[in-house]
């Protein structure tokens, strides 16, 4: 039979219990440096020295001013790229978490719909045959 040390066992149990408890003011997830930098920028802090002080005070994260400046530059670049893509129409707009449908092509009044024209051609091919429809197209071209 093996004997267990009662003080050692009680220390292990208290450690396990302490792991499950959260201290007040401590978030369940640790905050990343990028998220802390975003928060500082969203508050309106632009200066790297002021932002580093804010991040250290608010989140307890040590960060150098150069690191904050680099994160800020990357975020600014991503924002500018997203705005340029949205303006050029390459990226669909997000509205309340949903992607907006792509804009419909404009039809000029009196212009036939392409699908209607294709259906008409298909019926002509079925009635007249491909050779006659090709000859008609060649005559019109």
**Tens of pLDDT along 28-80?**
567 899 999 999 999 999 999 999 999 999 999 999 999 999 999 999 998 88
| CA atoms of 96 and 9, how far apart (whole Å) | 53
CB 99 within 8 A of CB 105: no
Q: What is the pTM of this model?
A: 0.44
pLDDT for the residue 16 = 44
The model's confidence at residue 112, banded by pLDDT at 50, 70 and 90, is: low
CB-based burial, 5-34: b 16+ in 10 Å, e otherwise: eeeeeeeeeeeeeeeeeeeeeeeeeeeeee
CB 90 within 8 A of CB 73: no
The model's confidence at residue 17, banded by pLDDT at 50, 70 and 90, is: very low
Paired tokens of 94: 């997000």
Pick 2 or 67 by higher pLDDT: 67
Mean local confidence (pLDDT), 22-29: 48
Q: What percent of the chain has pLDDT over 90?
A: 36
Report the Cα 32 to chain-centroid distance in Å.
17
| Helix axis angle, 130-140 to 114-128, nearest 10° | 130
| CA-to-CA separations, 61 to 41, 51, 56, in angstroms, rounded | 15, 11, 5
- Across the chain, mean pLDDT equals 76
Q: What contacts 39, CB < 8 A, 6 or more positions away?
A: 55, 58, 59
pLDDT for the residue 15 = 44
């Amino acid at each position: 039979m093996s004997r267990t040390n009662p003080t050692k066992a009680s220390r292990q149990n208290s450690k396990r219990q302490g792991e499950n408890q959260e201290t007040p003011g401590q978030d369940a997830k640790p905050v990343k440096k990028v998220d802390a930098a975003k928060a500082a920028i969203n508050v309106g802090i632009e200066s790297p020295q002021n932002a580093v002080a804010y991040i250290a005070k608010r989140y307890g994260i040590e960060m150098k001013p150069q690191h904050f400046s680099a994160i800020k530059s990357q975020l600014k670049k991503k924002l500018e790229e997203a705005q340029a893509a949205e303006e050029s129409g390459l990226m669909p707009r997000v509205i309340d978490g949903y992607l907006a449908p792509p804009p419909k092509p404009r039809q000029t009044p009196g212009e036939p719909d392409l699908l209607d024209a294709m259906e008409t051609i298909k019926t002509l091919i079925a009635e007249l045959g491909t050779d006659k429809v090709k000859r008609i197209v060649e005559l019109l071209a």
